[in-house]
Structure 1
Amino acid sequence: MLANLWMRLGAFLLKLVLLLLSIAGVVWILSSTWFAWHDRGPVSAEEHIPSGESAMSQEIIQTAIRIVDQHRESTRYLRDAHAKAHGCVKAEVQVLNDLTPALRQGVFAEAGKTWQATLRLSNGNAFPQFDSVTDARGMAIKLLDVPGAQLLTDKPERKEQDFVMFSHPNFFVSDVAEYQQNIAAQATGQTWQAFFPIWWDPRSWQLRHLLIANATLAPAPSSPTEATYYSVSPYKFGSANAKFRVAPDPLNCPAYTLPPQNEKLPNFLRNALHQRLSADRVPACFVLQIQRQDPSKYMPIEDTSIEWKESDAPFETVAKVRIPAQDFDTPALNLACDNLSFNPWFGVAAHRPIGGINRLRKTVYEAVSDYRHSRNAGP
């Protein structure tokens, strides 16, 4: 009798699993069909600012500052995102000689021009954690001594052009309203609310964005120099709109095999960077590329959760990035790295950030940076 009961229970469970798989399959087909219908061009090549965005940005600033307060390290205040750096390194960014006229824009206008730059490589989380924890990874590039009027007119002395990127081609929020919802959930430690704001109402669920977030939180690369980084949000590129990407370019650097690293160590990515640049004295190379918007395709400006497909617009290389062998991991240099600010609004009009997430960055990055530096300055 007991065996018969187990067989019936097993048959019931099998039928239940098959039913759930069938329902999931139908939902997947319906959602894929809906997105295929919804996510199609043409799209606007101009920005559209929704009402209430400015007020939401001010609320996000207060939440971001609360996160900075929560995650400060001893008495030192860290960034609200990408808090842990693997290092800041000197680099050279050389514009290609054979760019077409359409690609000679802004800092890429002069053929063969070599810009001196500072790169910051980091983890994405709001507080330092072991590098082995799944996370986004970041690269921020600051070109130095850039002539021309700066976008932020109250800081004309900067003479910089920043590019801020991370290791996934699209973001897990679409716009400022969703970012406000997401960061509020982070601040309370209830991250599930970012994707299920009203848990009993499936219409509010952000399942696609949850999948993007899970894909973003990837295992660590073997080294920060072996990852690809994306701007995610768009920028002006002369009269066009474009996104940026930085990808490894090993063929233009000496052949190198990184010795096995102990990935159980909390800072093994910094160790890998030190191994290559400082111990083995081998430079690292990347290409800096752009992807120009084709408004006839589904390449929206205001939705950063949408990946611009390479089949719609290929990436085009505009410059080479070379990180020479160097000593970067000292207390003084690490403190200087921590004190640096990177902001896509540090730059010139030819590369003006566009879209809601970039408009948000203009206010939040500056406010959080000012708050962090004022607290770290001490008496």
Structure 2
Amino acid sequence: MLKRLWLWLGRLLGRLLLILVLLGLAGWALGEAYYAWKFSGPVAREEEIPADEAALSRLIIEDAVRIVEQHRDNTRVLRDAHAKAHGCVKAEVQVLDDLEPALRHGVFSDPGHRWQAWMRLSNGNAYPQFDRARDARGMAIKLLEVPGDKLMKSPEHAGEQDFVMFNHPVFFVRDVAEYRSNFAAQADGKKALAFFPDWDPRSWEIRHLIIALKTLAPAPQTPLATTYNSIAPFKLGPHNIKYRVVPAPQHCPPYQLPEQNTDLPNFLRNALYRQLSLDRVPACFELQVQRQDPRHYMPLEDPSVEWSEKIAPFESVARINVPAQDFDSREQNLFCDNLSFNPWHALPEHRPLGGINRLRKAVYEAVSAYRHQRNATP
């Protein structure tokens, strides 16, 4: 009797498990079919600006100022994101000698040209925390002595061309409206509500929550062995592109970083210091671009969508060399803290595109001015 009962329960549980597996597979297939339909081309070649974007941007600036005040370090006001730097290092960006003529625009117009630059490597959080914490990692590059009129007319940035990136190919919001909702929840200390703004499941952003969780990744062994992405699109002459920076150790002397003590709060700075300052070994990267094919789903206004590399592979346009150097001094760290990076410090040939980039123009400029004013620094 008991044996028959156990056999019956076993068959019942087996059937229930099979039904759950089949339902899961059906749900997965429906989801794939839905997103294949939703994320299908063609897409616009030009920007599409919502009517309420400027008003939302002003509200986001207010939230950003609240965040920098919440996270101020004693008397210093920090950045509203990427507050903790591993270091600012000197770099050289060389345009490829054999660069394809169609990609010769802006700072890439002269094959073989070498640009001197500053490179800032950072954690993504608005408050400095231990490097082992899950976080985004950032790279910002500032080319120096770049001639020509820039999109932003501030004289102190007249000779600069900036590239701003972090180590994930997509962003966790699609537009300025969603960014406002998400950012306001974070500013209010209600991170759980950032992707669940109300009880209506139609407002939930499960896909974007997954992107955010993937973005908050474990720390790499070194910031010099990580790929960094522009996330949002830009112009490159007549092309709409995204760009990224990838490690290129084949262009540098062989180097094996000694194992790092990841319990140290600043072990990523230590890794940078060990390679560049102690072992005196340079680091190498390549700067690459990916051209939009508007026949496929490569939108300009939704940075939460990754452009397919199968359809549009990345193409190298320049090499980046980070030479051996001493960078970890009090003076240079203060200089690093006072540097301002903005993708709108740019030639018109590199104009930022899309809502998140338009938001960056307003927020970066306002928060940078506020931060420098409060810190009494130029």
Q: TM-score, normalised by structure 2?
A: 0.95
Equivalent AA in structure 2 for residue 167 of structure 1: N
Residue equivalent to 2:41? 41
Contact kept? 2:248, 2:284, Cα under 8 Å: yes
Q: Which amino acid aligns with 2:183?
A: I
User: For the residues of structure 2 that align with 1:290 and 1:284, how far apart are their CA atoms?
Assistant: 20
Aligned to 1:25, the other structure's residue is in SS state helix
Cα deviation 1:306-339 (Å, max 9, x = unaligned): 0011011010000000000001111111111000
Partners of 1:233 and 1:357 within 8 A in 2: yes
1:129 is aligned to: 129
Letter in 1 for 2:168: H
Amino acid at match of 2:118: T
Distance, in Å, in 1 between the alignment partners of 2:363 and 2:161 is 18
Equivalent residue letter for 1:125: N
Which residue type is aligned with residue 168 of structure 1?
A: H
Residues 181 and 194, structure 2, Cα contact 8 Å, conserved in 1: yes
Residue of structure 2 in register with 1:315 after alignment:
314
SS at match of 1:347: coil
Separation in 1, partners of 2:188, 2:17: 35
Partner AA of 1:236 in structure 2: K
Hey, what's the Cα distance between the residues in 1 that align with 2:177 and 2:79?
A: 22
Query: In the TM superposition, what is the alpha-carbon distance from 1:101 to its structure 2 partner?
Result: 1.2
Which stretch of the first structure deviates more once superposed, 358-367 or 210-219? 210-219
Shifted more, 177-186 versus 51-60: the winner is: 177-186
Report the Cα distance in structure 2 between the residues aligned to 1:139 and 1:231, rounded to whole angstroms: 10
**Maintained 8 Å contact 1:159/1:347:** no
Alpha-carbon distance between aligned partners in 2 of 1:115 and 1:316, rounded to the nearest angstrom? 19
Aligned equivalent of 2:175: 175
Task: Label 1:5 to 1:280 Cα distance change in 2 as closer, same or farther (>3 A).
Answer: farther
| 1:172 aligned counterpart, secondary structure | coil
Question: Counterparts of 2:264 and 2:11 in 1: how far apart (Å)?
Answer: 47
SS of 2:126's partner is coil
Deviation of 1:7 after TM superposition, in Å, equals 10
Q: CA shift at 1:201, angstroms?
A: 1.7
1:158 Cα deviation after fit = 2.4
Task: Give the C-alpha shift of residue 29 in structure 1.
Answer: 2.1
Work out the CA distance in 2 between the residues paired with 1:4 and 1:125.
59
The offset of 1:146, in angstroms, is: 0.2
1:141-220 matches, within 5 Å, as: 141-155=141-155, 158-198=158-198, 200-220=199-219
Distance in 1 (alpha carbons) for counterparts of 2:11 and 2:50: 53
Q: Give the Å deviation of 1:153.
A: 2.2
Task: State the distance in 1 between where 2:61 and 2:5 align.
Answer: 60
Alignment CA distance shift 1:9-1:125 (3 Å): farther
Instruction: Please give the alpha-carbon distance, in whole angstroms, between the structure 1 residues aligned to 2:92 and 2:376.
Output: 30
Equivalent position amino acid for 1:114 in 2: R
C-alpha contact (below 8 Å) 1:150/1:156 kept by paired residues: no
Matches within 5 A, 1:1-379: 22-155=22-155, 158-198=158-198, 200-377=199-376
Unmatched segments (≥5 aa) in structure 2:
none
Q: One-letter code of the match for 1:323?
A: V
What percentage of residue pairs aligned between the two structures are identical?
Answer: 62
CA positional deviation for 1:22: 4.7
SS at match of 1:195: coil
User: RMSD of the TM alignment (CA)?
Assistant: 2.1
TM-score norm. by structure 1 comes to 0.95
Give CA deviations for 1:236-258 in whole Å, capped at 9, x if unaligned. 10011101110000010000000
Which sits farther off after the overlay, 28-37 or 143-152? Answer: 28-37
Amino acid at match of 2:176: V
Paired letter, 1:352: R
Distance 2:344 2:10 in 1: 60
Report the CA distance between 1:23 and its aligned residue.
4.2
Which moved further from structure 2: 168-177 or 13-22? 13-22
What is the rounded CA distance, in whole Å, between the counterparts of 1:332 and 1:156 in structure 2? 20
Comparing 186-195 with 263-272, greater Cα deviation is found at 186-195
Contact 1:149 1:156 in 2 (8 A): no
Q: For 2:368, what is the secondary structure of its paired residue?
A: helix
What one-letter code is carried by the residue in structure 1 that aligns with 2:77? Answer: Y
CA spacing shift, 1:177–1:70, aligned 2, 3 Å? same
Q: Do the aligned residues in 1 keep the contact of 2:291 with 2:312 (CA within 8 Å)?
A: yes
Q: 8 Å contact 2:149–2:158 — kept in the other structure?
A: no
Q: Which amino acid aligns with 1:286?
A: F
Deviates more, 1:189-198 or 1:127-136: 189-198
Work out the CA distance in 2 between the residues paired with 1:9 and 1:144. Answer: 73
| Residue identity matched to 2:192 | W
Residue 138 of structure 1 aligns to a residue whose secondary structure is strand
| Counterpart amino acid of residue 108 in structure 1 | F
1:16 shift after superposition: 6.8
Shift in alpha-carbon separation, 1:99–1:20, aligned structure 2, 3 A: same
Change (3 A) 1:10 1:119: farther
The offset of 1:235, in angstroms, is 0.5
Q: Which amino acid aligns with 2:117?
A: A
The answer to whether the Cα contact below 8 Å between 2:95 and 2:319 also exists between their aligned partners in 1 is yes
Q: Deviations over 1:251-287 (max 9, x none)?
A: 1000000011100101000000000000000000000
Change in Cα spacing, 1:99 to 1:9, as seen in structure 2 (3 Å) is same
Q: Cα 1:188–1:157, aligned 2, differ >3 Å: closer, same or farther?
A: closer
Equivalences, count: 377
